[in-house]
Structure 1
């Protein structure tokens, strides 16, 4: 069994990816501040910002493949803390990929739909990045540097993701569910359009990209949907109270970082390779039991 190194294993996507990969790989995952247990996974505490510690990690694990997830993905925090987030989202990413490039280790880097300005959807891999917030800008910078350093790396632009989450973290889904259950007000944008997938589907897409992709690939879902309409669907499938749901517009909510209106991803290239996301309704149905508590 070959060895897979997953950075950011204690995060939402990393926790799900490790579980999906475990049957076929010997998985090592890194964490920094949140030590969790994942059955069958070896977790190592590593500060990836320390280049020597990063090199020691590669020497210890001797990975056959790497999926780099560790990042500062909070859009507002990236906007407010540009230096610290640049270190994680650009410098660390380039260091990880550089350590893969020299020995030719297959590598996946996760980027984001936020590299686009949202004015000309749906976006294909050939469309030039046009970010309007620092998070998207940092990911676009990392993409370009990685393609230059290691063209064989797979760069997966990820959409909005939802699903079950490890202790101490959430997807956007859990706070939405809690708010609706308590019948408090939940304002969701009608003018922010995405192509969401579950974290399990995302994990399968990343493993597919590891095997079949070099360069850019989009791993979005098959449906374009607003956050508000996602909320309505969530209420229907999960039998939640609808009393608190309110439609809102981006212009009405003050946020640190601007949000692009429509970053729908055209993922037809991934679909042609076998990436086959279920419908959002099907994904939510499959998550019902895991989201009940």
Structure 2
């Protein structure tokens, strides 16, 4: 089996990616602050912002491909800690692309729908980027820097992702479920729209892109939905108390990072390559069954 190096294996997406990838690859996963064991995966502690450590891992593993999921992906944190987040989100990403180019190996980056300003959705790969917060700006820099160093990189713009919790990570639905179960108030935006997918679907899309894509690809779901309507669907599928679910608008909540209103992705290109997200209801039902 060929070797794949997956950065950020302890993260929500990285963990799901390891589960899918190990069916066809010999998987090496990196982590930094959250130590864990994943059956069938060789886990390596590495500081990706330290180039010498990064190069040692490449030399030791000699992977046939790399999927770079490691990132600081909380927009509010990036807004208030721009230097710390730049080191992993931009500098490390570009170094990974360079090392992949040196060895002529396949590479995929997880970027984000937040590279767009939310004013002209749904967005295709050819649409101009215009981020409204530092996290989006950093991902644009990572996209451009990686493609400059290694044009063979598959730059995968990911949507909002959800799914069951992993040993070291949760998705956004876990706190939603707990809040509603305890009959506390859950305020969700009626004016923020995304095209969500499950972590499992996203992982399958990344592996497909690694194999078939050079350049930009959108891996969004097939349904555009507001945060509030997603919450209503969650209530229905998980049979949760609904009295705590309240509608609000972005302007009602003070946040460090500005948020775009509609970053729905047009993922037709990925669908034509065989990327097949389920309906949101089906994805959530799978989460309920296996939670």
Is this a same-fold pair by TM over 0.5? yes
When the two structures are aligned, how many residues end up with a matched partner? 291
Task: Provide the rounded CA distance (Å) in 2 between the counterparts of 1:234 and 1:132.
Answer: 28
Moved more, 34-43 or 258-267: 34-43
Task: Provide the rounded CA distance (Å) in 2 between the counterparts of 1:14 and 1:244.
Answer: 32
SS at match of 2:156: strand
Match in the other structure for 2:5: 5
CA RMSD of aligned residues (A): 0.7
C-alpha displacement of 1:289: 2.6
CA contact (8 A) 2:36 2:168 kept: no
Task: Provide the rounded CA distance (Å) in 2 between the counterparts of 1:50 and 1:165.
Answer: 29
C-alpha displacement of 1:169: 1.9
User: What TM-score comes out, normalization by structure 2 length?
Assistant: 0.99
Match in the other structure for 1:28: 28
* Residue 146 (1) aligns with residue 146 (2): yes
Q: Post-superposition, which runs of at least 4 consecutive aligned residues in structure 1 deviate over 6 A?
A: none
Match in the other structure for 2:92: 92
Unaligned runs of 5+ in 1: none
Match in the other structure for 1:214: 214
Task: Provide the rounded CA distance (Å) in 2 between the counterparts of 1:141 and 1:195.
Answer: 23
CA contact (8 A) 2:154 2:214 kept: yes
Match in the other structure for 2:136: 136
CA contact (8 A) 1:16 1:165 kept: no
* Residue 186 (1) aligns with residue 186 (2): yes
CA contact (8 A) 1:187 1:248 kept: yes
C-alpha displacement of 1:231: 0.3
Match in the other structure for 1:83: 83
SS at match of 2:103: coil
C-alpha displacement of 1:148: 1.3
Task: Provide the rounded CA distance (Å) in 2 between the counterparts of 1:103 and 1:41.
Answer: 23
1:218-257 → structure 2 map (5 Å cutoff):
218-257=218-257
C-alpha displacement of 1:103: 1.4
User: What TM-score comes out, normalization by structure 1 length?
Assistant: 0.98
C-alpha displacement of 1:168: 3.4
